[in-house]
Amino acid sequence: MKGFTAVLLIWTLISPSSSGGGSGEAWPTHLACRSGGLEVLYQSCDPLQDFGFSVDQCSKQLKSNLNIRFGIILRHDIKELFLDIALISKGSSILNFSYPICEEDQPKFSFCGRRKGEEIFLGFPFKDLGVNIPRGEYQVLLEVYTENRSIVACANATIISS
C-alpha cells in the first residue's frame, strides 16, 4: 500500500440529451494520470454517460498490483458482465482481451447482481503485473457489457509512455 500515487476522479454525469442519434457530440477528455513518464487520457465512448476513473499507480513501471476503478450509474441490471479490451499502437492492433466479470453461477466481484439505477464503482484489481510500459503511444478501447450486449461502460484511452 505504500508509494501510491492516488488519482481519484470520481464523479458521474448523465447526458441531458439521451435521445441518441446525435453522434456529433463527444464527452470531454479527462486526464487520469501524469507522472513518472506516463500520461493517461481517457474519454467515455458511451453516448449516454461520462464517468470517473481512477488508477492507484501512475508510472511507466507498474508495480505488481494495480487497481483501476470506474464510477458509473447502472443503466442495466448486472447479472452477467463482460469486459473487452483492445490495445492498439501506431494504428495496428496488438491485443484483444475478453474477460467475464460476473457470471450467473460465480460472481467474482461485489457489484455483480446490482440493479439498474444504482451508482457503483467497478473496481478491477490486476495482480502480478509488474510491467514496464515500453516507450510509445497506445490506444486502449474498453467495453463493459451485459449478456445481451447492452453497454454498461465504454471508454477509450490514450496512454503515452516517454
Window of 2-10, 17-25, 37-45, 52-60 that interacts with ligand NAG by CB under 6 A: 37-45
Q: Give the whole-angstrom CA distance, residue 73 versus residue 119.
A: 4
At residue 132, what are phi and psi to the nearest 5 degrees? -110, 115
Binder among 42, 51, 111, 145 for ligand NAG (CB under 6 A): 42
Which residues between 45 and 74 bind ligand NAG (CB under 6 A)? none
Binder among 5, 12, 15, 43 for ligand NAG (CB under 6 A): 43
- Contact between 157 and ligand NAG by CB under 6 A: the answer reads yes
Nearer to ligand NAG (CB atom), residue 86 or residue 112:
86
Secondary element (H or E) of residue 100: strand 92-102
- Helix or strand or coil: residue 27? coil
Window of 15-23, 62-70, 124-132, 142-150 that interacts with ligand NAG by CB under 6 A: 142-150
30: Cβ contacts below 8 Å, ≥ 6 apart: 9, 41, 42, 43, 53
Q: Give the whole-angstrom CA distance, residue 27 versus residue 142.
A: 15
In the complex, the residues that contact ligand NAG under the rule CB under 6 A are 29, 41-43, 86, 93, 95-96, 139, 147-148, 150, 156-158
